[in-house]
Amino acid sequence: MTPKTELDITRWVVSEGLKGSSETEILTGFCRRLVTAGVPLLRANLSQPTLHPIIGGHNFIWWRGDETAVEEDWQRSFNREGLKASRIPFSYMASENLWRMRYRLGPDEAPSEFPLLKRFRARGGTDYFALATAFGEIRRLGPADRVLSSWLSDASAGFDDRHIAIIEQLAPTLALTVKSASAYRIAHSVFGTYLGTDAGRRVLGGEILRGTGETIRAALWYCDLQGFTKIADTTPRDRLLGMLDDYFECMVTTVHEHGGQVLKFMGDGLLAIFKGDPVAESCDAALDAADRVLGRMARVTAKRVGENLPVTGFRVALHLGDVMYGNIGARDRLDFTVVGPAVNEVSRIEAMCRSLDQTLVILSAFAEATGRSSDRLVSLGRYALRGVRRPQELFTLFTDEEGEALI
């Protein structure tokens, strides 16, 4: 490879990073350029830990002959293929604090402690080279403190010293570009996890000025767990958190499956919105989610009872109203959420569940806006709500004799 070719590859990698190309696109183009320049490359892998509540990190894998590189994620605390970490090359490098590792893969040379290298040899690999490119401690994003890369040759003599030098020379530029791509991915993931998908997207898109937002008409979902204060006083911390995780996992998954957005957790409570056009579809989606969650929560409770774990009930209120959806708070601490009278009313409706002995209570504005779901509702009567000027008619889902909501 000539100095000009090396410079051209460097410039291309930088331009892809500035353009915002994905990690798979960058790796694919990089490897193809190495092969064109004479590097006998069969496979390449970029691996990076990430900041995510479930995903531990990403592998971006390229094989010569494939159209593009592919992404394979690994889960936190997941023991891939049942192997000990010490038998995976990258894990071994991390545990031993190694920054480079190389193995020839001749008939008797692939080390037995790395089954992966045996598979590479079976596919024609002759030389395996792995490299760790570290980031500085300043501005690191959690565990994303390095990029690990591996390079596999199928040339009869493997890589020569010139090939290794080229890879080592270009690796920092490649790692910095991948870091740029992964930083946005991490930010998108963290914002979506803590703010909600839509709110996170809006904040990353620049909607961050205090007091700005839009007025939307949305179906509101407010729920909380029953008797949580008493349970919290008598339940060990780990069991309490486990209970919250199990029940909230059920609620949040169901809300998301039906197109809702979870905006915030408030202790043992949860606020979500369903927004769309027409409004009737948003209300139907929210009601479908509430219907579905009744059965799912019952199954969660039954499972926890079988495991001798603490259990609780829950209550859900549904409402429809105009709310301001945007940034509220102080100059240096904002919350992207919804505010308005309808938000206050839905929390008061939820408080009516206990006195009405209902798991689900729906305000008349929501009931009147439903489309295909109107025949599934039954009136509970008219009630005076604190802070609401006139009595409101409340509804719930019609149920069969066994208490299951009818669809």
| pTM for the predicted model, two decimal places | 0.76
Domains in the chain and their CATH numbers? 3-194 (3.30.450.40), 208-397 (3.30.70.1230)
pLDDT digit string, tens, across residues 228-244? 888 999 999 999 999 99
What is d(CA 91, CA 88) in angstroms, rounded to the nearest whole number?
5
pLDDT digit string, tens, across residues 63-94? 999 989 998 887 766 544 444 555 788 888 88
pLDDT digit string, tens, across residues 330-345? 888 888 899 999 998 8
What is d(CA 331, CA 210) in angstroms, rounded to the nearest whole number?
7
For residue 371, the tally of other CB atoms under 10 A from its CB is 13
* Contact call for residues 150 and 89 (beta carbons, < 8 A): yes
pLDDT digit string, tens, across residues 218-228? 999 999 998 88
The predicted pLDDT at position 143 comes to 67
Burial class (CB in 10 A: 0-12, 13-18, 19+), 277: exposed
pLDDT digit string, tens, across residues 291-329? 999 999 999 999 999 999 999 999 999 999 999 998 888
Max Cα distance, the chain (Å): 86
Instruction: For 378, list phi and psi in degrees, rounded to 5.
Output: -130, 140
Question: DSSP for 130-186?
Answer: EEEEEPPSTT-BTTB-EEEEEEEE-STT---HHHHHHHHHHHHHHHHHHHHHHHHHH
For the segment 23-32, the average pLDDT, to the nearest whole number, is 94
